[in-house]
Structure 1
Amino acid sequence: MRFSLSDMLQGFAVAGATGLALVPYFMALLGLNFEEAVTMAMFHSTLISFSWMFFGDPYAPGWLTPAIPFVVAFITAPAYLGDHVSQFQAMTALSLNFAFILIVLGVTGLGAKIIKIVPNVFKGGIILGAAIAAFLRVTKDGDAANVFQLAPIAGTLGVVICLVFAFSKPLQALAIDKKWLATILGFGLLPGFVIAGSVGYFTGEFQYNIRWEILDVVASTTSLWEKASPFVIGWPPIETLMASFPLALITYILFFGDVVTGNEMIEQAQATRTDEKLELNASRAHMATGIRNIIMGIIAPFFATQGVLWTGIQVVLLKKWTQGRDKLDSIFDSIGSFYAFGLPFLFILLPFVTLLEPLLPLALAVTLVLTAFACATLALSLVNDATERGAMVITAMAFSIFEPWLGLLVGIIVIAALCGFQVFIPKKEILVKEK
């Protein structure tokens, strides 16, 4: 693992701000104070940051973001609203149920087999559905990700700069002859955050209130443990475990979509970098995410913060990797530096945390927009047949509008009706390989 300064700096800004984006939820919904909420975010980010190192998956891990609205709705139902003990028990139940599903499918290998036999048109529908859902969320009135409404000048500028720096072909071509431009582009998303943060300060859209303190990790961890851990407040009752299982099952569909998306991204990038073979192992991804959810569920339970892929960042890191070995020796150099080699120590530095606090909506918006763009381009490249493309779009709309299980049902029906059941039947070569 080699050190990459540009990846570490943008990791501090982007991963730091995004990791803190749920702090307001922790405080408003679960009754935590600021220090406890930051400590909870630190534990979530630590588990994410260590995942690639311990399990070897070539993914930039992140949240199961589309599940978060479902989770918030679940713990604000009348049965849990205002009862923080019951809410934390519900979070633990969700995490343990989800881990059970992942580990069973990982140990048996069924998860990997399901992912292999899913046809491209259905994969494309899932991936394009994630793109549409991300676009819808980032423009939704009143949503925490709607930076265009919260900070119209600085927010729009930051998102546009990050999008252009990540994907603009003319800019990449210009950087071949302009060394100074290549250096700036090498910092990825960081310039967009610096420019947006500076402009937002002068327009009054971002207010900075820096606290020159170090987080008292021992005190905040102790108080968080007493409020949240099932070892103190009690394990979720059987009724809560049963009530949370359907949502855990629905979240698996989202997890499945992320694995499919990550694999397709890596396989496309692999064609450019034949010198480093990235091993894709769906069973391992199931196990890694399941283990992280178990740990999270007993120390800092907030479901959907332990997923397999951060799509927006995966595309940025892979893009740098495909530029050749002289730019980046290994994808793990980039992932490692971005996640500070598994040690997100910036959370204990309250000056840094409070500096990033105004940028939380921007970080969430950038993540969603990059995810949407990357998913859309990937999905459209998976199919060439016009009928399959139309079925894929309808499936995507169903996934972005309805609950995941209903989107799954609509997608299967539409694809079967328009493309035929044969697309769901594995080809002979796949069956021989499985034997």
Structure 2
Amino acid sequence: MLAKRPDGEVQPGFKWGPFTMRIPLIHLRFSLADMLQGFAVAGATGLALVPYFMALLGLNFEEAVVMAMFHSLLISFSWMFFGDPYAPGWLTPAIPFVVAFITTPAYLGDHASQFQAMTALSLNFAFILIFLGVTGLGEKLIKVVPNVFKGGIILGAAIAAFMRVTLEGDVANVFESAPIAGTLGVVVCLVFAFSKPLQTLAMDQKWFAKILGFGLLPGFVVAGTVGYFTGEFQYNIRWEILDVGAATASLWEKASPFSIGWPPIDTFLASFPLALITYILFFGDVVTGNEMIEQAQKTRTDEILELNGSRAHMATGLRNAMMGIIAPFFGTQGVLWTGIQVVLLKRWSQGRDKVDSIFDSIGSFYAFGLPFLFILLPLVTLLEPLLPVALAVTLILTAFACATLALSLVSDATERGAMVITAMAFSLFEPWLGLLVGLITIAALCGFKVFMPAKEAPETK
């Protein structure tokens, strides 16, 4: 029986420790529009690293697809077992650092050592997150960060996303690889997600409201269709079912520390700084997700979305630990997929008659159908050409949403300027250097007082 939520309360679920488990069709409803979006967007994006797995780590196509499947399954069921109201995704900015790390002379060409390095990175990162989550230090850190610094982190993510989409030779630069179909797809997705005139039209025209309700899916349909006729996309369909058992066994033999051995101590030590740097990215995603939810929460008082930094730390840490021993490739288990979070929150904020609970949207987007996608090679190969579109769309939506959110966090002109400098530092330099430049800039221009927690006003009798 489907559980009903009284107005002004948290969506029901099974409590276990600090987490809340929500089961499909018991604690959340099925949403066809969100499932179709997830099928196209999450499916295509989930395959994005397959070429990396094959070129860098020596996996064949089937093993690479199974590895992507494990990563996507851990992401897809995070909301179900842990209860965070986030649309989880990769720690995308960390991936270039990770690739650079495993292609140094110490690891290049030795695939077993590369996988051990990935395991060490994942377990180091999991330790950091779980320690900060269990002690509550992560939650306290999130609360004391001033808005000007939060805005710098979030705006930095926006700038970095815009820069990557326009970077020459990058797989996300769909304007270069598929200028006609890719541009149309990105424009349709962006307009459908944010256009005020279209939202006004949807209020008067029910047929258009139904189309708008499919979110990003129309953009992918347009891109895929136009790309076929312009010759920008080539569809090489493989009419096969993936032999998951054989591919999993083969991947386990090549990648799991239970098979190839655990990383040596010096690998753990060498990878720890990168794990610390990645925490800055994780922290920025949590800050961004919380600010997005708090903005959307103002329009939906019927459902309270619980934000718990300690829970987010522990949940992401556990996923990284599992990934590190099953299918190690660091950077694929983050807390937030910003572009999708903004799309799902936007629909949720339209009212309970559109979406009863945010978990209806998140659950349908991730869980329904996605586990089967990677097994059916006709579907995998159908979505493969849309990979650049999926990456470009999510990055541009992330950039737009982060920019609007960051600019709303500060109103003081000096703080806004400091925020922009901090954002540029985060987008241009390595995370630790961006952090240092941001702290120095804010302290010099705004004073140390912005880092002091605001005193609560005394109660009046």
What is the TM-score normalised by the length of structure 2? 0.93
Match of 1:284 in 2: 311
1:250 lines up with 2:277 in the alignment: yes
Of residues 210, 221, 225, the one that matches 2:252 is: 225
Deviations 1:141-173 (A, max 9, x none): 011111111111101110111000000001111
Q: Which amino acid aligns with 2:30?
A: F
Aligned with 2:434: secondary structure? helix
Q: 1:388 to 1:47 in 2, by over 3 A?
A: same
**Which secondary structure state, in structure 2, belongs to the residue aligned with residue 344 of structure 1?**
helix
Give a deviation string over 1:309-366, Cα, whole Å, max 9, x none: 0000000000000000000000000000000259522110100000000111111111
Cα pair 1:92 1:297 within 8 Å, conserved: yes
Q: How does 1:181-330 map to 2 (within 5 A)?
A: 181-330=208-357
Counterpart Cα distance in 2 of 1:336 and 1:227: 32
User: In the TM superposition, what whole-angstrom CA distance separates every residue of 1:109-161 from its partner, at most 9, and x where no partner exists?
Assistant: 00000000000000000000000000000110011111111111101110111
Stretch deviating more after TM superposition (335-344 or 251-260): 335-344
1:111 and 2:138 aligned = yes
Is residue 35–residue 368 contact of structure 2 (8 Å, CA) maintained in 1?
A: no
Amino acid at match of 1:194: V
**More helix per residue:** 1
Q: How many Å separate the matches in 2 of 1:57 and 1:78?
A: 40
Kindly report which structure 2 residues correspond to 1:382-401, keeping only aligned pairs within 5 A, or say none.
382-401=409-428
Q: Give the corresponding residue for 1:349.
A: 376
Match of 1:14 in 2: 41
Q: Does 1:77 align with 2:108?
A: no
Of 374, 377, 398 in structure 1, the residue corresponding to residue 401 of structure 2 is 374
Q: Is the 8 A contact 1:395 1:410 kept in 2?
A: yes
Q: Which amino acid aligns with 1:258?
A: D
CA spacing shift, 1:397–1:260, aligned 2, 3 Å: same
Unaligned runs of 5+ in 2: 1-27
Runs of 4+ in 1 over 4 A off after TM superposition: none
Amino acid at match of 1:112: E
Write the letter of the residue equivalent to 1:4: S
Match of 1:156 among 168, 183, 201: 183
Aligned Cα root-mean-square deviation (Å): 1.2
Cα deviation, 1:89-116, whole Å, max 9, x if unaligned, reads: 0000000000000000000000000000
Q: Distance in 1 between matches of 2:158 and 2:299?
A: 25
Return the letter of the residue paired with 2:54.
Answer: M
The answer to whether structure 1 residue 120 and structure 2 residue 147 are counterparts is yes
Of all paired residues, the percent bearing the same amino acid is 88
The answer to whether the 8 Å contact 2:39/2:370 transfers is no
State the shift of 1:181 in Å: 1.1
The C-alpha deviation readout for 1:372-424, integer Å capped at 9, x for no partner, is 00000000000000000000000000000000000000000000000000000
Aligned residues: 432
> Is contact 1:49–1:341 with CA below 8 Å preserved after alignment?
no
Is this contact kept in 1: 2:159–2:423, CA < 8 A?
yes
Q: 1:156 to 1:250 in 2, by over 3 A?
A: same
In structure 1, the residue matched to 2:206 is 179
Which stretches in structure 1 are left out of the alignment for 5+ residues? none
Amino acid at match of 1:307: G
What secondary structure does 2:304 align onto?
coil
Structure 2 counterpart of 1:214, one-letter code: I
Mapped partners of 1:190, 1:407: distance in 2: 36
Q: Structure 1, residues 246-272: CA drift from partner, whole Å, max 9, x if none?
A: 000000000000000000000000000
- Inter-CA distance 228–207: structure 2 relative to 1 (3 Å threshold): same
